[in-house]
Amino acid sequence: MSMGPLAVALLVAFCALARARPAHPQQQAVLVPAGNAPYAGQVVVRLDCSLLPCHSRFFLEQLETSVISVMSIASGHIDILVNKASYGRVWMRETGYIIVDDVQAVVDQEMSRLAASEQKLLSLSTEEQFAPDVWFSEYHRYDQIVAWFKDLAAKHPDLLTFIPSIGKTYLNKDIIAVKVGSSVNKRTKPQLWFHSGDHAREWIGPATVQYLVHSLISDYSQDPTLLDSAELIIVPLMNVDGYEHTWTGNRLWRKNRRPIKNDFFGSVGVDLNRNWPAHWGEGGSSNMPFSDTYMGPSAASEPEVKALISFFKNDNHTRLIGAIDLHSFSQLVLRPYGWTQNPAPDEFHLKTAGDGIRDTIKKTSGKKYVSEREIDLYKASGTASDWFYDEEVQEWLPDRRLYAFTIELRPSAEESNGADGFILPPTEIVPTGQEIYAAVKGYVSYALKNPLLV
């Protein structure tokens, strides 16, 4: 949009606020005391994009270098997390309105619900807890997720291989992986990669991966097509440290948990999906450690990113033809590139596959996902999906490129109220899993028939 005098004046005021650096929940110390309320006094404000140049590169760069936390971006608005006192500023009242008046109350309500649910689960035997109707009725801690995958692999050793560690997090937690596939053409069939949990607060991602694995195994006897045709390599939870922190200290935490050395503000964490060595630091990320989108001191500086890269480029993974990174939220199917307006060499097939994912979801659940290039939503560099598609992987696999996507899961930016978009009710786990399972089957089929050979 063009910037009139009002928009320019408002943007100048916004920039002044963006560079003011009060205490912010993303700057907490590593250990948060019990009873801490990191979002006390915080509200979610919806900014009207008809009054602000929300999707201009300059505006988004101001957000990226600020202490303002962006909760969601839609075509007509942007939801931001700010201190309620900031809303008293004239420019913000002129361009937006509060949609969540007390973020801490939303978080507290969810944590109370989880505590009660956990007590109910603890009254059950392990076998009862792992029953699908119980397991998929709730979100789970890291240790529980590990135990669930171990149990599933023990029950289905012909279809599921559990890998106890592909590397360590900053806090020395194991990053697990699994491989799903039948014995048919085991050493020759194509492979596809999936991972989730880059961003700690996006709980629906790991839950959806769990549902995907469960469904592939449960349906194999009736429909063996996918697992006889391909092997799926899956990292269910990348950011283990951050994920655990969302259960114990800060529900809306995004980054990993590595303290940033020599940072004046004592900031903690790097945005793992801005740290991949794919045009790292070329826009759409921040070099400010307190930012939600802090890209880290160098490309692949973080142990979690290093672990996934090392595992991805394993000698046993040279049959990869596609890779998907699952996030939330906004209901988007994003294809390369995120760092440049130049079209990807395989734009036709990427768009066709992405549109197919979108259409399958709509047919399965009625939910509307948007299929688009990531750069058409916002600029982002150092992302996993661009790394899957770009130079380093192509040098490793010189005869092909990969069908690379980021999928942003439920809810849509229009349906959510900012903070509650990340606090998706557990009743959404199964329907989200069902629509993604259906979409993955179509995606794998298309990729197998149309490999991106070069």
Integer Cα distance of 65 and 289 in angstroms? 9
Given a contact cutoff of 8 angstroms between Cβ atoms, the answer to whether 200 and 170 are in contact is no
Given a contact cutoff of 8 angstroms between Cβ atoms, the answer to whether 445 and 424 are in contact is no
DSSP 301-362: -SHHHHHHHHHHT-GGGTTEEEEEEEEEEE-EEEES-SS-SSPPTTHHHHHHHHHHHHHHHH
CB atoms within 10 A of CB 133: 7
Coil vs helix vs strand at 20: coil
Given a contact cutoff of 8 angstroms between Cβ atoms, the answer to whether 423 and 81 are in contact is no
Locate the DSSP E strands across 60-120: 69-73, 77-83, 96-100
In this structure, what token pair is assigned to residue 177?
Answer: 């992986």
In this structure, what token pair is assigned to residue 180?
Answer: 């799903």
Positive or negative, the CA dihedral 25, 29, 30, 34 is: negative
Integer Cα distance of 256 and 223 in angstroms? 39
Bridge partners (DSSP) of residue 192 are 232, 322
Integer Cα distance of 356 and 333 in angstroms? 10
Integer Cα distance of 216 and 204 in angstroms? 18
Catalytic-labelled residue, pool 304, 374, 408, 435: 408
Bridge partners (DSSP) of residue 98 are 45
414 counts as catalytic: no
Integer Cα distance of 305 and 384 in angstroms? 9
Integer Cα distance of 247 and 267 in angstroms? 20
Residues annotated as part of the active site: 408
